[in-house]
Structure 1
């Protein structure tokens, strides 16, 4: 028996995600299990160490310092898949892509396309709503140097697999931010039931992969985008207009149009 009184591995067991993720019948239940997870010792240590030594600007704030669940409606037609929470962003606020420069860039672009109620994301309860979009990541804990290990990615993968399976009835498009997310996502889509092409296409900004319908799964469009990291945005590798254009394309493929306008 585990600490919740249910059979199965404890949160600190490496088998915790694989055991619990597929047993969740709705996203709220999945998110609650994600938050309990302590399956990767290095990530647990780092997220808590970061919280114990906050940046000067956040010294008066209590860090979340737990896994960060996905954010957005359960009937989302568009998913945005990143890398992992930032140590002083999502790991501080408890909401994906919230409170850091990458999130500022992403949510401003989502707002410009009509997929977010406001261009800023500072903390849960700030009024931000997403329209038809769910934002998530293949790794739910902040990693040192923003670099999860392959083993950590594998351990965390059941959460993303279960999340996409729960979204599948309405999901039509996925935008993947960066090479890491692309490499992590494609095997998950295959596990969920979408047929993957061989060889698998390489990541690139604007690359589009269309996976055919299979069984009860509808056709799915997967678009690659450079990650809105400061390394990419400061150098101009990813401009605001580039991201807005790609998100507008993704929204169109998902049948969302401009849901936040009017």
Structure 2
């Protein structure tokens, strides 16, 4: 597998590029509209053809480049099936994984940050890679106070879908605000200040209720745009670009 972790600094978002060495087909997970040219250059440099864009959820802090990538490359747009987005070409679910050449993306339904959030498990010989979106972050987790989020639901998603995986499973989040790149299931079980160390459901819910995070700066623009797979007027993209600072995901 060809693999790259790419970073967008304004929203502190990781976009992940996967390539099949045999077919030279690629997938971009959680692409950001401001980095389209970077992503296209990476694909060209690696000799890859984009087959799919894939998102973990309807983001509130940036606009996806899914539709723009489709218009530029002819790729297909994949989203969690339960989002029911008319703009998507393919809906993925736990019973409908995404396969591209030798690559297989197993969706895991992990609600809590949003009601329809999905994470993706990629199994390679001798290793598991877990792409947690905004559900589980390194030493943290996504906030649960908008888009039908729910702290108790997120706790159960993480404990039932993530913490039951082998401890050496690599954890790749959709965001990190401290320039960290990867964690493991064992590391999050042991030291995550919100979820690790045997935190109970009640303790976690109390922690999340006391965060008092500011209203996400871009949510009023990003969510409607992402419900159309990022197909938004140019002035909307400009508004996103001109909004100062990263949105706080918690």
TM-score, shorter chain, exceeding 0.5? no
